[in-house]
Structure 1
Amino acid sequence: MLKTPLPLGSTIGILGDGQLGRMLSQAASRLGFKVVTFGPDVGSPAAQVSLASKVAAYTDEAVLARLAESCDVITFEFENVPAASLDFLTGKGAVVAPSSKALRITQDRILEKDFARNAGVWTVDYFPIDSVEDLGNAISEHGPGFESALLKTRREGYDGKGQIWIRKGDDIEKAYASLGHRPAILESKASFTREISVVAARGWNGEIKTFPIGENHHVGGILSTTLAPAQVSEAVTAEAHEIARKVLEGLDYVGVLAVELFVLPGDELVLNEIAPRVHNSGHWTQDGCLCDQFEQHIRAVAGWPLGDTSARCTVEMTNLLGADILDWPTLAAEPQSRLYVYGKDEPRAGRKMGHINRIK
């Protein structure tokens, strides 16, 4: 635990070297911190803007030990960092936030939904799947009215990867084989009217602040746009913020996370997933709030007071995937917009190369 706020000039370590690490590093630098990134790629988006970078596998204990010695606090930018690596860092005396407990729960979809139910947060019905037989039994439990359900790997998988819809009459053995026969979860279909997310932060002292709600639209399983603040009722806003509080406190979480929610008819909310990190749907805060999600995360893990999360304007964030980034001259010329480029060298199809925030 961090007992006193980090002074200016302290060093923050970031496990992960992608665009989220890049924007965290930029926010930390603006607040007067030094940043050391840790990841497997040379010349990564995060390393390009950081004081130093350590290039190694996340399980390399020799390099992890050096990171622990050189940093005043260590955080991470994505949920596929091994929780055991955080345990190792803690064992070496490093201050780590969020904790390995929070990561371990949220990187496993069964543990995550079990946690949510125990915290009083509703989810869709779900079934652990470890075999084709499990899958057949889970479908049977849906009853004769079964039409479709979503099969996902328990761990990893994002942007539509590691998941497949199973519909009535499908070959379930083929469906399970498409995920490599990995441990999975079958989730009942949610008949939602819209998808929203709430990005929130908690400090070492238990202080919590939530950002306004964002409404998300996906294309091909990848987030396409987020509009915020979303046009939702006060009741939905209040319930979403309460769900975020339950998650933050239940995980004893320090830092920023995102809670993805389905809005059902009648404005009931159902948890979709928890992201234990800054989140794509929170990018709008860079131009919509005085304190954006990246600065907020740095403030939280550094023990600083949390920043103002009120919206200054309405923003539509659009992801730039693959060749979209090649249109940067036109995008950069748009009025009332800000372009963010991640520094990736190859604009592959579906790869997040940047985003643009448009003020509405």
Structure 2
Amino acid sequence: MYHPEEWQSSGRPVGRMYHPVNRSGSGCPPLDRSGRMYHPEEWQSSGKPVLLPIRDGIMLIRRTEDVDCQMSFSDSLYSPSSRLSRSLHMLHTLVKRLTKQHLYWTARMSGLAFPPVDINYRYYQPYYRRLIALKNHESYTDWPQDVKDGFDHVIKLIDARDNYVETMCSKHGKVLAGISEFTKTADWAELHKSGKTKYLLPSVMLTGHVEGLFLKFLVSMQQAKYVLDIGMFTGYSALSMAEALPADGKVFTCDRELYLAELNRKVFDSSPHGKKIEIRLGDVGDTLNALEKDGIQINFVFLDAGQEQYDTYLDLLLDKKLLAPRGTIAVDNSLWFGRSYLLDDDSMARFNKKVKDDPRVQEVLLPVRDGIMLIRRTEDVDGQV
């Protein structure tokens, strides 16, 4: 575990120490110079918020009318209890309490298979899945009770942080809530087995509440008119972004599944923003060529399908000038369940490096859900002097 003296420098902690899991002692160390913790009541605003789990948390707030959605703040503000904070003292002595036998089992379990990713987005993080795998291992019952308590408290801390982020974001509307519920409860294995879908589509592909609201914020701040959504699935991202568009705006959402196209069209039509969504069925390359032929330039692009083709899509968007001046590309799954930074030979890792080495663009990788990389042309990011 880290000690305060390892990260304090002129009263300013390094980024990872903002997460309570990484702070030890009898309680979480205070994070401002006066020795007090910050509370949400101090910065809660009447605007429409989305809370992002970046560093110590960044809340974006815009006027409700600028985002085109009803504001909804939770009446009660939730934060991790002091009991959980104090429990970190137990974790601080974890290594000292482990016997050689338990250390041996820890080493043996280094190759432990992760549990499958599920609809709870915290499962995208490999450290969380490793904790769950360790807790579910048959040898776990033989561990000292304080060690097991330490594992439980760390898991609770992670859950508390993620639940807090979810709670502090504005609620989605009824149609989006219906999409989310259907996606989580549908029997996708049976739909694939019966031939209704070409591919087995796991529910974890759902964009979800926090990321959907973040996309809506980005589109509204971009003041976009045309949006390209590569990877429609059940339509959560497409409708989220359509809600931020002007009346004459358009979301071109792409997919290969006829079943999803027919299903989503009915759902989109139940929303007043559905008329702004145009479903493009088939190959993404054909859609890009058609948009170029029609002279349409895209203000905002969301890449969320066909990771092995991301580099091709990026080059087409930039070389054919399909990306409008001052346009933005958002790339989903940039962390790819941890593979991007844990494996040397990974498709997303290669794409991320390609973007980083491309002088035409600048990028920022955000740890939202499974990672979102924002890409813009270099001249659109650098200011003038």
Q: Is the pair's TM-score, using the shorter chain for normalization, greater than 0.5? A: no
- Higher Rg of the two aligned structures: 2
User: TM-score, normalization: structure 2?
Assistant: 0.27
User: TM-score, normalization: structure 1?
Assistant: 0.29
Structure with the higher fraction of residues in helix conformation: 2
Structure with the higher fraction of residues in strand conformation: 1
**Relative contact order (alpha carbons < 8 A, sep ≥ 6): 1 or 2 greater?**
1
